[in-house]
Structure 1
């Protein structure tokens, strides 16, 4: 006989006995025999002493719970089961609890068993996972979400029988054998994997605070995005027209990118063909750039002077009302003054010792003069003096590329005796002249405008003496602006 037939047989035998037994049979009738609802019977076992209050509890399965079963709180009987009914696919159990027992409004209920083969009862308790709220009152309902039931002995034995009846153990044996075959010979790799896993978990444990902080930051970010959901939605909606336009112009964009590639090829060809012309243009610019570099700061200074022409840039400090202050520094040397006033031209000392040497005079300042090839030259110019003969192109100037420390001009150049050129950087002797820019100014034995290395030093014998001749112009402000009082 199978278990189902045995259970039906037991139910069939038990039903006549329970009918004959009356009230006792109704109390002991199991729920599995088909009686859907049982009425109350006044038994004194678990009934509360006072009036009490009723609570309805919903269960998915009440097992063989019967009316008049006990209701317990912390294993203390506080009430009884009044009624068990069927509502849809779950059972509804009405409990009567002593009025002196106070339970929270979110209390839980479970069908328990007093012992292995003992009777069933309903255990009511505060919620284990959340704080207690409110108070359970008369007529309240404990829903399915807060009710459970314990495991039946039959269920435990059935599961154990399934395990011991050749099914579970055989499967465990197969798993064990296959696992041994899979790991055979791979113990070092498995050990290394476990070691790396341990290192990885240890690293995660050390970075637990950082991970928690990152998760919190991500939570704040998602919260902010959730609060700005409307803004993000509007932004995405505003992108739709632009994406639509890009989709329509996809062919044009592809053509533009393709043409851009072709443009690069054409540009390369143009650059290669014009490379020679470009190099020639740059080489043609080289002299201009060299002259600009040689001009140095003269060009910006001249531009600064143009803003205040005909006055120097600092003239604004000298203008007071309708007149201009003038500051003059005079070097009053009595001997020089008397020589300039009494002598038409000073008598040279060292030059007269050489015959057939013309007396030098201040060269003309009409413009820069390059060294010439007429060492004898004609005497002329202003009264009272001669004109310095033009220097030859060779022999009367040092090699500018290999400038010596001290250069003495040959006698045939007709320069004053003792005139020397000192290498740039040499100390300036008494009465000598330093050429900061390498261009010889008027008033020396060399032609004005002669180019020498910057910083070249001329000795005192290369500087011509003053003749005492004064030519001037008197007049008002317009005359001064036109040429100045002293030429």
Structure 2
């Protein structure tokens, strides 16, 4: 009978005393759920350690194993009472019950603005290392304090204090003036905080607009690439052209310098003509309006009824003018003929 009991006990998995439940542990209820949390460092956390929410034990640590990742993280499986509801983005921290007490896992909800509804933490959920952390241990605090005291930290503070005193001695007025300027600057910034906020909002809108037009900007940059490549290939020609323009400008300046006196004399000679044109005022453009239609100007056409205009032009020859001899006799002077070529009737 004892052999049977021993065989039965050996058939079950028993890794040691740590598999035995601790007295006074949390009540897991009838339907606990599992949560896996990954830590970069679990300190000396052991299986069957408590899992608490708001310092109330609601579960225990089921197992601690090395996670199947390349980051050398610890994977801690937690058993939580099924009646405890936590958000899906819950945080897990390793804390210490007292100064020399045991380690436990503290589960908490992250702080969010507003009272938004969140999905609950489900069975088999994973809390990544980005939402886990651990508190500083007493040994680490004492180690840092020992480094400060034994490594010359106090002496360094004394040196810093001495240097500050040496720097400020005799410069009190300058330091006060500097602090006054700083106070004035801070006051100006505070007075223009609405403008600064508006500018930041404008930058935010600009960034949003650029983000919405990312494809268009990318297309424009891609279209600029061939043009930039062409400019790069023609760099020597462009440099030669600019050098030629520089030489041309030197020649132009030399020409203008040499012809300055003649140019000024021409402008002085042109001044009376320009003055006369300016004195003509509106008479010149009005004369140019009727030049092409003379003598039938617009003013004459408005006073004529119908579509035709009859005019008589008298031409008087100048004194001493001799009319030219006609090449052919006039019809009335032809002897014995009529204008039609017949005889007298």
The equivalent of 1:68 in structure 2 is: 48
The equivalent of 2:255 in structure 1 is: 266
Q: Which of 54, 60, 81 in structure 2 is aligned with 1:80?
A: 60
Q: Does 1:97 align with 2:85?
A: no
Q: Does 1:157 align with 2:157?
A: no
Compute the displacement of 1:296 (Å).
Answer: 7.3
> Does the 8 Å CA contact 1:102/1:136 hold for their aligned counterparts?
yes
Q: Using a 3 Å threshold, how does the CA distance of structure 1 residues 128 and 245 change in structure 2: closer, same or farther?
A: same
> Does the 8 Å CA contact 1:111/1:150 hold for their aligned counterparts?
yes
In the alignment, the residues of structure 2 paired with residue 289 and residue 86 of structure 1 have an alpha-carbon distance, to the nearest angstrom, of: 100
Q: Does 1:56 align with 2:39?
A: no
> Does the 8 Å CA contact 1:304/1:313 hold for their aligned counterparts?
no
1:66-215 residue pairs with structure 2 within 5 A? 66-87=46-67, 89-128=72-111, 133-165=118-150, 167-215=152-200
1:274-353 residue pairs with structure 2 within 5 A? 276=265, 278=266, 281-282=269-270, 286=272, 303=288, 306=291, 309-310=294-295, 313-321=298-306
1:419-458 residue pairs with structure 2 within 5 A? none
Structure 1 range deviating more: 157-166 or 251-260: 157-166
> Does the 8 Å CA contact 1:310/1:481 hold for their aligned counterparts?
no
In the alignment, the residues of structure 2 paired with residue 149 and residue 300 of structure 1 have an alpha-carbon distance, to the nearest angstrom, of: 95
Q: Does 1:41 align with 2:20?
A: yes
Compute the displacement of 1:165 (Å).
Answer: 3.7
> Does the 8 Å CA contact 1:68/1:82 hold for their aligned counterparts?
yes
Q: Secondary structure at the match of 1:124?
A: strand
Compute the displacement of 1:303 (Å).
Answer: 4.9
In the alignment, the residues of structure 2 paired with residue 124 and residue 294 of structure 1 have an alpha-carbon distance, to the nearest angstrom, of: 98
Compute the displacement of 1:244 (Å).
Answer: 2.2
Structure 1 range deviating more: 176-185 or 208-217: 208-217
Compute the displacement of 1:299 (Å).
Answer: 5.7
Q: Which of 205, 217, 220 in structure 2 is aligned with 1:229?
A: 217
The equivalent of 1:217 in structure 2 is: 202
Query: Which protein has the larger Cα radius of gyration, Structure 1 or Structure 2?
Result: 1
Q: Using a 3 Å threshold, how does the CA distance of structure 1 residues 54 and 115 change in structure 2: closer, same or farther?
A: same
> Does the 8 Å CA contact 1:46/1:68 hold for their aligned counterparts?
no
Compute the displacement of 1:234 (Å).
Answer: 2.8
Q: Which has the higher contact order (CA 8 A, sep 6+)?
A: 2
RMSD: 3.2
TM-score normalised over the length of structure 2 = 0.73
What is the CA deviation profile of residues 216-275 of structure 1, one whole-angstrom value per residue up to 9, with x for unaligned ones? 222222333332331331353243045225512112321221222122112321333565
In the alignment, the residues of structure 1 paired with residue 64 and residue 157 of structure 2 have an alpha-carbon distance, to the nearest angstrom, of: 43
In the alignment, the residues of structure 1 paired with residue 53 and residue 147 of structure 2 have an alpha-carbon distance, to the nearest angstrom, of: 36
What is the CA deviation profile of residues 340-386 of structure 1, one whole-angstrom value per residue up to 9, with x for unaligned ones? xxxxxxxxxxxxxxxxxxxxxxxxxxxxxxxxxxxxxxxxxxxxxxx
In the alignment, the residues of structure 1 paired with residue 296 and residue 147 of structure 2 have an alpha-carbon distance, to the nearest angstrom, of: 119
Q: Secondary structure at the match of 2:314?
A: helix
In the alignment, the residues of structure 1 paired with residue 269 and residue 93 of structure 2 have an alpha-carbon distance, to the nearest angstrom, of: 101
Structure 1 range deviating more: 135-144 or 215-224: 215-224
Q: Secondary structure at the match of 2:58?
A: strand
Compute the displacement of 1:114 (Å).
Answer: 1.3
TM-score normalised over the length of structure 1 = 0.53
In the alignment, the residues of structure 1 paired with residue 297 and residue 241 of structure 2 have an alpha-carbon distance, to the nearest angstrom, of: 63
Gaps of 5+ in 2: 1-13, 317-345
> Does the 8 Å CA contact 1:47/1:80 hold for their aligned counterparts?
no
Compute the displacement of 1:207 (Å).
Answer: 1.5
The structure with the greater share of residues assigned to helix is 2
In the alignment, the residues of structure 2 paired with residue 74 and residue 306 of structure 1 have an alpha-carbon distance, to the nearest angstrom, of: 106
Q: Using a 3 Å threshold, how does the CA distance of structure 1 residues 309 and 481 change in structure 2: closer, same or farther?
A: farther
> Does the 8 Å CA contact 1:46/1:69 hold for their aligned counterparts?
no
Q: Secondary structure at the match of 2:259?
A: helix
Q: Secondary structure at the match of 1:94?
A: strand
What is the CA deviation profile of residues 105-127 of structure 1, one whole-angstrom value per residue up to 9, with x for unaligned ones? 11111111111122211110111
Gaps of 5+ in 1: 1-22, 28-39, 325-476
Compute the displacement of 1:139 (Å).
Answer: 1.3
